A and B are shown apart, each in its own frame.
Chain A
């Protein structure tokens, strides 16, 4: 597979994962805010802004309307929903011939549809419903990707992008809720309450699976245990890293072991950390370090993949 194509597929998947995450956070937040006091809702909005690393696009005392506008529709905010979709679509367009018609037309259709939507047009109806629809369109896109593309090298690059992004997004979300990352604006929000932990599960589509595993007893340590270390839940960090490791085995067939070594070693190391970790071992400041490491190691895996397969020096392989 062309390196440029692998690059585009990888980024397309990352941006789609980000778009899905953003629309889910907004849907869940807009649905849940009616049950919160003004102060609690405000604190929780600020965690959402922090989780999406959008502190620069929102001023401290913005209301739900303004924040939603910034996170969803602000074209100048490179991490907004419309920006993520635009980048995903730009990448898809560059590798149009690698995608199935089903995948391309669904993504292109969603992109075109979002061009016509404004915050005003959704706010008068049920804004949460709108983001749920976008999210479901993105789920459909995920299904089409799974079911209409060959599960060849390109598909594994999509998987890698999607799950590296997911591991980072989920660990950042945890980080924010455990109060470790300082938000880029204003005073730190108060510690999450019972309801906020419940919302955190919903941010990760984890509420029902969590209850099946741990009953409806909402406890921060069990939530962290579940979102970090559960081996079977698709939005856990461990599950995501497993997918990354798996994808790495399938990309770049025929490449000599020496060139594969670095990326596979880094991914294996991270896999071991989440395979054998448990929350009880992480007390106090060490969870801080642990979450930070996950993000950093994802970054290192990304860099190793790029230097082995995408931007390598041609002279070196001749």
Chain B
């Protein structure tokens, strides 16, 4: 161990370790004492404080550190985090008027901590879920057993705008349609993790998971070390292994990350992953198809590509098959794919299974394909396509969250309890005119987590997005992206709607 070397940093001083060792050493109460004066414990499960206000044991070390730091010091560390993101260029571009400004997605200084025991359940649960979803995708793009057996309504699948007829009969390596999955989990009031959403198309955020770890570990080195946090840094290697497993040979596999380009809001992530994996980052204009094989244009001529990790939506992949106005894609690539000359991750057509209506059926799919009980529950969901549910939803708009089926990113939704009466009335009209397009869920009090705000530490709502990699086998790094709603009381964590993110610590025990 390097203890001797590291001892000169202040975080290894005695007071940082006290709390870490015995879980005591404070009686600062939320809502009463600094830095938690404004910390409001509501109906939601709180990650740090138990119901009576006591600190949960796995947060004891962090708590001790927070009590020992002067407010200015917290503020300085928060600024250092933000500065680091800006310097690294971890930004997205906001276009307004004639100006393009680069912003960082706010990152919060304080880690969100999950115990090893809690994680074991999450890990098993999301693995089970992705396994079932992959089986489901293979099924609906081949014989459609699940439809014939009446488990899922035929019209819901064949009528979905994300169902790709072109994918029928296409052989997908290992039956792994979803090679990279981001599953959004939330904690209910009772503390149980439940699944809010599956992201099966081109989920993003993993670079923030890694970048957050980098800055937060530097901000709290002592607490980090004492807590025995499981590593996540090997994610790029795991991704590379997954991508390589999509071709039958292992030598000289030519792999590329396909990005829409520098103007895409996730461009940093695309470049980051390509760099970390040591593979090419390509745009559509770098690629061409000849004789059903995909090539990239290099200075030395054309070079064959075997595997593409695409970060471009289905619609834009191949202008010959999908949207013909796409300039991001590669004409002819779908035929090369269908001929088995290039592997594409994720497979095309996965969007049909993360539809918010299909979501409601996932527990049934798990039972159907795996003959197992779901380890992680869904949030209770009303399908407005069913008449009984629709009238229930209309009668309870003030208590429900209503979401458009095909939308993501927090768009097209109504958060009933936070909406005004006119907003609810307007939404009710939309619901009545197109019920199939909507689902509703009770407002879930997402759990709250300590979050730095100017002047102290307050409770903010969070979710959790772990990333599941599936190729020949399934791999999950212990962690994920914790998104946080930075506005007090807000339940919307999307970065497009004022959300930020946090480092997520999964502990060994």
The answer on a CB contact under 8 Å between A317 and B87 is no
The answer on a CB contact under 8 Å between B281 and A97 is yes
Render B282-311 as a binary contact track against A, CB cut-off 8 A, 1 for contact: 110110101000011111111000000000
- Chain A residues closer than 8 Å to B267, beta-carbon distance: 93
- Closest chain-B Cβ to A158's Cβ sits at a distance in Å of 13
Q: How far is the CA of A108 from the CA of B86 in the complex (A)?
A: 9
The listed residue (B261, B272, B296) touching A2 by CB distance below 8 A is B296
Q: Does B410 contact A (CB under 8 A)?
A: no
- Chain A residues closer than 8 Å to B285, beta-carbon distance: 4
**Which residue from chain B places its CB closest to the CB of A318 in the assembled complex?**
B290
> Which of A94, A101, A109, A310 gathers the greatest number of chain B CB atoms within 10 Å?
A94
Q: Does B6 contact A (CB under 8 A)?
A: no
The answer on a CB contact under 8 Å between A105 and B87 is yes
The answer on a CB contact under 8 Å between B89 and A317 is no
The answer on a CB contact under 8 Å between A2 and B300 is no
- Chain B residues closer than 8 Å to A312, beta-carbon distance: 297
**Which residue from chain B places its CB closest to the CB of A92 in the assembled complex?**
B89
* Listed stretches A18-26, A50-58, A182-190, A247-255; interface member: A247-255
The answer on a CB contact under 8 Å between A3 and B87 is no
Interface size class of A (residues with CB under 8 A): 20 to 34
Q: Does B103 contact A (CB under 8 A)?
A: no
Q: Does A96 contact B (CB under 8 A)?
A: yes
**Which residue from chain B places its CB closest to the CB of A93 in the assembled complex?**
B262
**Which residue from chain A places its CB closest to the CB of B270 in the assembled complex?**
A97
Q: How far is the CA of A166 from the CA of B271 in the complex (A)?
A: 30
Within 8 A of B (CB), among A118-176: 153
The listed residue (A101, A105, A252) touching B300 by CB distance below 8 A is A252
Given the known A-B contacts A2-B282, A96-B271, are A109 and B290 also in contact in the complex, defined by CB atoms under 8 Å?
Answer: no
The answer on a CB contact under 8 Å between A317 and B262 is no
The answer on a CB contact under 8 Å between B286 and A3 is yes
**Which residue from chain A places its CB closest to the CB of B268 in the assembled complex?**
A96
Q: Is the interface of B mostly helix, strand, loop or mixed?
A: mixed
The answer on a CB contact under 8 Å between A317 and B274 is no
Q: Does A282 contact B (CB under 8 A)?
A: no
The answer on a CB contact under 8 Å between B86 and A255 is no
Q: Does B280 contact A (CB under 8 A)?
A: yes
The answer on a CB contact under 8 Å between B299 and A97 is no
Q: How far is the CA of A309 from the CA of B299 in the complex (A)?
A: 4
Given the known A-B contacts A3-B286, A4-B285, A97-B274, are A255 and B89 also in contact in the complex, defined by CB atoms under 8 Å?
Answer: no
The answer on a CB contact under 8 Å between A317 and B298 is no
Q: How far is the CA of A94 from the CA of B300 in the complex (A)?
A: 20
The answer on a CB contact under 8 Å between B299 and A310 is yes
Q: Does B275 contact A (CB under 8 A)?
A: yes
Q: Does B2 contact A (CB under 8 A)?
A: no
Q: How far is the CA of A214 from the CA of B397 in the complex (A)?
A: 88
- Chain A residues closer than 8 Å to B299, beta-carbon distance: 1-3, 6, 153, 251-252, 255, 309-310
Q: Does A314 contact B (CB under 8 A)?
A: yes
Query: How many residues on the B side are at the interface (Cβ–Cβ under 8 A)?
Result: 28
> Which of A96, A251, A312 gathers the greatest number of chain B CB atoms within 10 Å?
A96
Given the known A-B contacts A2-B286, A3-B286, A255-B301, are A109 and B87 also in contact in the complex, defined by CB atoms under 8 Å?
Answer: yes
The listed residue (B271, B272, B280, B301) touching A317 by CB distance below 8 A is B301
Within 8 A of B (CB), among A265-318: 309-310, 312, 314, 317-318
**Which residue from chain B places its CB closest to the CB of A7 in the assembled complex?**
B299
**Which residue from chain A places its CB closest to the CB of B291 in the assembled complex?**
A318
The answer on a CB contact under 8 Å between A314 and B88 is no
The answer on a CB contact under 8 Å between B288 and A314 is yes
The answer on a CB contact under 8 Å between B275 and A97 is yes
**Which residue from chain B places its CB closest to the CB of A100 in the assembled complex?**
B275
The answer on a CB contact under 8 Å between A96 and B275 is yes
The answer on a CB contact under 8 Å between B89 and A108 is yes
The answer on a CB contact under 8 Å between A254 and B275 is no
The answer on a CB contact under 8 Å between B88 and A105 is yes
Q: Does A112 contact B (CB under 8 A)?
A: yes
> Which of B89, B262, B268, B285 gathers the greatest number of chain A CB atoms within 10 Å?
B89
Q: Does A87 contact B (CB under 8 A)?
A: no
The listed residue (A96, A252, A310) touching B89 by CB distance below 8 A is A96
The answer on a CB contact under 8 Å between B297 and A104 is no
- Chain A residues closer than 8 Å to B268, beta-carbon distance: 96
**Which residue from chain B places its CB closest to the CB of A99 in the assembled complex?**
B275
Q: How far is the CA of A96 from the CA of B207 in the complex (A)?
A: 14
- Chain B residues closer than 8 Å to A112, beta-carbon distance: 86-87
> Which of A97, A153, A254 gathers the greatest number of chain B CB atoms within 10 Å?
A97
Given the known A-B contacts A96-B275, A97-B275, A108-B89, are A254 and B286 also in contact in the complex, defined by CB atoms under 8 Å?
Answer: no
- Closest chain-A Cβ to B85's Cβ sits at a distance in Å of 11
- Chain B residues closer than 8 Å to A97, beta-carbon distance: 271-272, 274-275, 281
- Closest chain-B Cβ to A301's Cβ sits at a distance in Å of 15
- Closest chain-B Cβ to A253's Cβ sits at a distance in Å of 6
**Which residue from chain B places its CB closest to the CB of A91 in the assembled complex?**
B262
Q: How far is the CA of A266 from the CA of B262 in the complex (A)?
A: 34
- Chain B residues closer than 8 Å to A108, beta-carbon distance: 87-89
**Which residue from chain A places its CB closest to the CB of B274 in the assembled complex?**
A97
Q: How far is the CA of A252 from the CA of B268 in the complex (A)?
A: 27
Q: Which residues of B contact A (CB under 8 A)?
A: 86-89, 261-262, 267-268, 271-272, 274-275, 280-283, 285-286, 288, 290, 295-302
A-B residue pairs, 10 tightest by C-beta: A97-B275, A309-B299, A252-B299, A96-B271, A97-B274, A97-B271, A252-B300, A3-B297, A254-B300, A317-B301
New A-B contacts (20) at CB < 8 Å, excluding given A3-B286, A97-B272, A314-B290:
A1-B298, A2-B282, A2-B298, A4-B285, A93-B89, A94-B262, A96-B89, A96-B272, A96-B275, A97-B275, A97-B281, A104-B88, A108-B87, A112-B86, A153-B299, A251-B299, A254-B300, A254-B301, A255-B301, A317-B301
27 contacts between A and B (CB under 8 A): A1-B300, A2-B286, A2-B297, A2-B298, A2-B299, A3-B297, A4-B283, A93-B89, A96-B89, A97-B272, A108-B89, A109-B87, A112-B86, A112-B87, A153-B299, A251-B299, A253-B300, A254-B300, A255-B299, A255-B301, A309-B300, A314-B288, A314-B290, A317-B301, A317-B302, A318-B290, A318-B302
